[in-house]
Amino acid sequence: MKKNTKELELAILIIILVILLDTLYLLKVINIVYFAYFMASLMIVSLLGTIFTYIDERKRKEKKQIEDLMYYDKVTNLPNKTKFLEDLNFIKNQGKYCVVSLEVKNFKQFLDVFGITETNKFLKFMANSLKLNVENDELIAYINEDEFALALKYDSNDVLEKRLTKINNKIVESSKSIKVVLSFGIYVITDRRFSSSIMLNKANVARKKISDNYNVLCSFYDDNMKSENIELSDIENYMEESLKHKDFIVYYQPKYNVSKNKIIGLEALIRWIHPKRGILSPDSFIGVFEKNNFILKLDMYVLEEVCKTISKWKKNGIKIVPISVNLSRCDLEKNNLISDIQKIVKKYSIEPKYIEFEFTESIIYDNMNKFLNVINVLHQIGYVVSIDDFGAGHSSLNILKNLPVDTLKIDKEFLSEDSSKGKIIIANTITLAKDLNMKVLVEGVESKKQVSFLKKMNCDYAQGYYYNKPLSIKEIENVLKK
* Distance between CA atoms of residues 95 and 154, nearest Å: 9
Ranges within 353-412 binding ligand C2E (CB under 6 A): 358, 360, 388-389, 412
Rounded to the nearest whole angstrom, what is the least distance from the CB of residue 473 to ligand C2E in the complex?
15
Residues in 414-453 at the binding interface with ligand C2E, rule: CB under 6 A: 443-446
- How far is the C-alpha of 304 from the C-alpha of 302, rounded, in Å? 5
Which residue in 146, 147, 299, 389 binds Mg ion (CB under 5 A)?
A: 389
Binding mask 215-254 for ligand C2E (x = CB under 6 A): --------------------------------------x-
What DSSP character marks residue 319? Answer: P
299 binds Mg ion (CB under 5 A): no
Residue 147 binding target from Mg ion, ligand C2E, none, CB below 5 to 8 Å by type? none
Question: What is the H or E stretch that residue 388 is in?
Answer: strand 384-390
Query: Is 416 strand, coil or helix?
Result: coil
Span interacting with Mg ion, options 95-103, 291-299, 310-318, 353-361, rule CB under 5 A: 353-361
Strand partners, 288: none
Question: What CA–CA distance (Å, rounded) separates 70 from 93?
Answer: 24
The whole-angstrom separation of Cα 279 and Cα 55 is 64
Query: Does residue 309 belong to the site contacting ligand C2E (CB under 6 A)?
Result: no
Q: Rounded to whole angstroms, how far apart are CA atoms 43 and 37?
A: 10
The reply on whether position 352 binds ligand C2E by CB under 6 A is: no
Comparing CB distances to ligand C2E, the nearer of 327 and 430 is: 327
Q: Of 141, 264, 266, 295, which lies in the binding site for ligand C2E, with binding defined by CB under 6 A? A: 295
Instruction: Collect all residues with Cβ–Cβ distance below 8 Å to 338 and sequence separation of at least 6.
Output: 374, 377, 378, 381
Q: Which of 9, 155, 283, 417 binds ligand C2E (CB under 6 A)?
A: 283
Whole-angstrom Cα distance, residue 212 to residue 146?
15
Select the span of 64-72, 295-303, 321-329, 345-353 touching Mg ion (CB under 5 A). Answer: 321-329
Closest among 198, 185, 190, 106 to 150, alpha carbons compared: 185
Question: Distance between CA atoms of 157 and 228, rounded to whole angstroms?
Answer: 23
3-state secondary structure of 90: helix
Asked whether position 281 contacts ligand C2E by CB under 6 A, the answer is: yes
Q: Write down the least CB distance from residue 391 to Mg ion, Å.
A: 10
For the CB of residue 446, give the shortest distance to ligand C2E in the complex, in Å: 4
Task: Give the shortest CB-214-to-Mg ion separation in angstroms.
Answer: 13
328 binds ligand C2E (CB under 6 A): yes
- 67-76 exposure pattern, b = at least 16 Cβ within 10 A, e = fewer: eeeebbbeeb
Residue of the chain from 302, 323, 378, 425 that contacts ligand C2E (CB under 6 A): 302
Query: 233: burial class by Cβ within 10 Å (0-12, 13-18, 19+)?
Result: exposed
Using the contact rule CB under 5 A, the part of the chain among 141-149, 275-283, 385-393, 458-466 near Mg ion is 385-393
Does position 465 interact with ligand C2E (CB under 6 A)? The reply is: yes
Residues 6+ apart with CB under 8 A from 468: 253, 254, 479
Out of Mg ion, ligand C2E, none, what residue 465 binds, judged by CB under 5 to 8 A for its kind, is ligand C2E
Question: Which option in ligand C2E, Mg ion, none does residue 269 bind, with CB closer than 5 to 8 A by kind?
Answer: ligand C2E
425 close to 457: Cβ distance less than 8 angstroms: no
Separation CA 372–CA 322 (nearest Å): 22
User: At a CB cut-off of 8 Å and minimum separation 6, what does 278 contact?
Assistant: none
Angstrom CA distances, 306 to 11, 21, 297, 355, stand at 86, 101, 14, 9
463 lies in the site for Mg ion, by CB under 5 A: no
| Binding piece for Mg ion, criterion CB under 5 A, among 120-128, 245-253, 327-335, 438-446 | 438-446
Of the pair 139, 454, the CB lying nearest ligand C2E is at 454
Interface with ligand C2E includes 270 (CB under 6 A)? yes
**Member of 269, 300, 323, 385 binding ligand C2E (CB under 6 A):** 269
C-beta of 412: minimal distance to Mg ion in Å?
Answer: 7
Which residue of 106, 196, 253, 326 would you call a contact of Mg ion, by CB under 5 A? 326
Amino acid letter, residue 8: L
Provide the total of helices (H) and of strands (E) in the chain, helices listed first. 17, 14
The residue ranges that bind ligand C2E (CB under 6 A) are 253, 269-270, 281-283, 286, 295, 299, 302, 326-328, 358, 360, 388-389, 412, 443-446, 463-465, 470
List residues binding Mg ion (CB under 5 A).
Answer: 326, 358, 388-389, 443
